[in-house]
Amino acid sequence: MSIRDRVLGKPLATSEERGEQIGVAAGIPIFGLDALTSAAYGPEAALSLLIPLGMLGTTYILPIITSILILLVIVFFSYRQTIAAYPNGGGSYTVASENLGEGAGLLAAAALMIDYILTAAVGISAGVTALTSAVPSLQPHTLAFCLLILAILAVVNLRGVKDTGAAFILPTFLFIGTLLILIGVGAYKTFAAGGHPVPVEAMPPALPQTVKFLGLWLLLKAFSSGCAAMTGVEAVSNGVMAFGEPRAKKAQVTLTVIIAILIVLLYGTAWLSKHYGIMAMNPDATGYQSLLSLLVTAVFGRGWFYFLTMGSVLLALALSANTAFADFPRLTRAIAMQDYLPHVFILRGRRLLFSHGVYALTVFTAIILILFGGVTDRLIPLYAIGAFLAFTLSQAGMVVHWNKQEAHQGRAWHMFVNGIGAVATGITTCIVLASKFMSGAWVTALLIPCLILLMHSIKRHYSRVHNEMREMTPLNLSNLEQPLVVIPMAGWNKISEKALRFGLLLSKEIKVVHVHSEDESHGIEEEWEQRVLVPIREQGMTDPELVTIPSNFRFIISPLMDYILALEEEHPGRKVAVLLPELVVKHWWENALHNQRVQLLKLLLLVRGSQRIVVVNIPWYL
């Protein structure tokens, strides 16, 4: 077995696709880890904006999280209906395109692509933050750990959906289990202490209060940051096709389990924070610890359970980026099917997944992590806008979908549920955009129209190609004529001989072009007569013409290009076949030992040439 097969798995036949389908247990880590792990940074994102209130900020966290959970439940019921209506996958792009038109579909597509890239970056970054909270000495290496985890995730996902689910089940349920134990034990201690538990270890003092009361603007900013906890909810509806039959039922059960657990984790974390009086720390401060790190320390101390919990948080947060890896390739494929992205995203790889989507997500996520140094709080302001915009478009599209259906029992209720979802998420989108705009949300707001313009340009290109290549007439056999053959030749050798032999098969009119530099002691004229013309004349064949172009400045490519383009212009009705003798080395690194003039000439001919110039490679294998 090759190293590639060991790392990425053996290639799968198309007939093995059914074996790659998953059930509810595997669906939770694959499509739900992003949503579930938001419990590790969602409440902290809201609390960090309340730091100016000092300890007073902890009294507001429960109302903020409760309002977010109400919105989460609305979105949950809306997406259950979307799954039922689109059992073959009903992501925001599909729903918006079919029901609201092309413009809305592209808006959803751009928002979702940005959201998935940020989902991967924030998940990995938050996981490494959990690690550096437990081991502060590793903080200077944050970015290196982020990129390492990204590389591991990419490799695991390239093995296919089934292997990915199997790899992530244990970390996911370990994360859920440790947090449920934390919440359960913390709640027990709180009630046992009459609502005022004492932390096992002393907590860092909260920063002094600089704001006397919570204003509306600060409240909206805290709410919008906490809404980061809702990203990833759409993942199940977008990945319905990954489930085994009955697809829609299994997807709905998976979504229900994910949302139920998420509600417990979010509310439990916020509840403990309030009753233990734990405030978020400034992430730029020395000795920074995440909110979860402080909660576990307060409830259990820094014993073995602390390191088990923080280890599970690290693993789960880092792997939560997998939700993006699961859905981003499916999204790009759906967009590419409509000619708005390169068609390479349609192709399935060796493990029956759309591997080019994985490559693209890996590259873009790495760029984001490098630009922001792998720090979660620098990424959060860009986050959630794309998700909520996609939520809004999807739910509005579902209202139109139900309205198009024939009147049946329950249609009005379906429209009402999706309508409430559209209004709620639409208002939230405006709040998130307004409150985060100056903090970095303007970047996302700017990228979305740029992406839409890019997709339109790709669509125009494919439309032009389709119109130009479409041929509805029978094969045209008129004006067939042998091409003019041009063979660039640096000297007479075996590869030159191979090119000339092939040229003689193509045409009787061959022009061998040699660019002679003053640095050369002699050209190929001395060998031309004896080595080339004598054998050709003995066979009664037409002599090829030797064209020598002097180059006083030692340029090779430019004189060749000028000659070929001039020849094409002189013969407007003829094809010009350029045969390029090329050395093919056994090892890739040996390419550095040879000049790459042939590659450059080939590129220039393809870029500057026309339909009448044909480029033919003549390889010589070492």
pLDDT tens digits, 293-329: 888 888 888 888 988 988 888 788 777 777 788 788 8
Structure tokens at 354: 């759309």
CATH number at residue 551: 3.40.50.620
- 441 token code pair: 């949300």
Least confident of 82-91, 280-289, 484-493, 543-552: 280-289
Give 378-437 pLDDT, tens digit per residue: 666 666 677 778 888 888 888 888 888 777 777 788 888 888 888 888 887 787 777 767
User: Sorting pLDDT into bands at 50, 70 and 90, what band is 261?
Assistant: very high
Same domain, 415 and 560: no
Residue 87 has pLDDT above 90, yes or no: no
Residue 475 lies inside a defined structural domain of this protein: no
Q: Can you tell me which residue has the tokens 């590389």?
A: 151
| 97 and 195 fall within a common domain | yes
Specify if 470 maps to a domain: no
Instruction: Give the residue with greater pLDDT, 186 vs 22.
Output: 186
Q: How far apart are CA 273 and CA 62, in angstroms?
A: 9
- Is the pLDDT at 154 greater than 80? The verdict is yes
Cα separation, 32 vs 173, in Å, equals: 11
Q: 513: which strand partners?
A: 488, 547
Q: What pLDDT is stored for residue 544 in this prediction?
A: 93
User: Do 513 and 417 belong together in one domain?
Assistant: no
In a domain, 467, yes or no: no
Q: What is the pLDDT of residue 426?
A: 84
Residue 484 tokens, joined = 């003019």
The answer as to whether 13 is a domain residue is no
Q: Kindly state the average pLDDT of the residues 257-281.
A: 87
pLDDT of residue 17 exceeding 60, the answer is no
Highest mean pLDDT pick, 199-213, 245-259, 311-325: 245-259
Q: What is the pLDDT of residue 509?
A: 92
Residue with the larger pLDDT of the pair 287 and 174: 174
In this model, does residue 283 exceed pLDDT 90? Answer: no
Q: Got the DSSP string for 39-74?
A: GGTHHHHHHHTTGGGGGGGGGTHHHHHHHHHHHHHH
- The pLDDT value recorded for residue 577 is 93
Mean pLDDT of the chain: 82
Q: How confident is the model at residue 4 (pLDDT cuts 50, 70, 90)?
A: low
pLDDT of amino acid 46 = 79
Structure token digits, residue 365: 């996520």
Domain that holds residue 446: 19-461
Query: Do the domain assignments include residue 474?
Result: no
The per-residue pLDDT for 458 is 92
Taking the CB of residue 465, how many other CB atoms lie within 10 A of it?
Answer: 11
Residue ending a domain, choose from 430, 461, 492 = 461
Please indicate, yes or no, whether residues 384 and 517 belong to a single structural domain of this protein. Answer: no
Of 192-196, 224-228, 443-447, which gets the smallest average pLDDT? 224-228
- How many separate domains does the chain show? 2
Q: Is 401 helix (H, G, I), strand (E, B) or coil?
A: helix
Cα 91 from chain centroid? Answer: 16
Asked if 510 and 427 sit in the same domain, the reply is no
pLDDT of residue 178: 92
11 lies in a domain?
no
Mark whether 535 and 604 lie in a shared domain.
Answer: yes
Q: Measure the CA–CA gap between 143 and 373, rounded to whole angstroms.
A: 6
602 or 42: whose pLDDT is higher? 602
Do 388 and 494 belong to one domain?
no
Q: Do 270 and 405 fall into the same domain?
A: yes
Q: Please check whether residues 221 and 337 belong to one and the same domain.
A: yes
In this structure, the answer to whether residues 574 and 506 fall within a common structural domain is: yes
Same domain for 456 and 532? no
CA 44 – CA 47 distance, rounded (Å): 5
341 and 440 inside one domain? yes
The per-residue pLDDT for range 446-476, each reduced to its tens digit, is 888 899 999 999 999 998 888 877 777 787 7
CATH number at residue 414: 1.20.1740.10
d(CA 398, CA 388): 15
Give the Å distances, CA to CA, from 551 to 327, 416, 555. Answer: 56, 78, 6
Q: Domain for residue 216, yes or no?
A: yes
Beta strand pairing call for 576-584 and 545-551:
unpaired
**Is residue 35 classed exposed, middle or buried when 0-12, 13-18 and 19+ CB atoms within 10 A define those classes?**
buried
Q: Based on the number of CB atoms within 10 Å of its own CB, is 420 exposed (0-12), middle (13-18) or buried (19 or more)?
A: middle
Domain boundary (408, 427, 461) is at: 461
Q: Name the range with the highest mean pLDDT among 1-10, 569-578, 604-613.
A: 569-578
**Does 588 have pLDDT greater than 90?**
no
Give bridge partners of residue 576 from the DSSP assignment: 484, 613
Answering whether pTM is above 0.85, one says no
> What's the pLDDT at 352?
60
pLDDT tens-digit map of 337-391: 888 999 888 887 766 678 888 899 999 989 888 887 766 556 666 666 777 788 8
Grade residue 179 by pLDDT with cuts at 50, 70 and 90.
very high
Q: Which of 461, 494, 517 is the last residue of a domain?
A: 461
The verdict on residue 360 lying in a domain is yes
Burial track 301-340 (b if 16+ CB lie within 10 A, e otherwise):
eeeebbebbbbbbbbbbbbbbbbbbbbbbbbbbbbbebbb
Q: What is the pLDDT of residue 433?
A: 77
Tell me if 355 sits within 8 A of 157, measured CB to CB: no
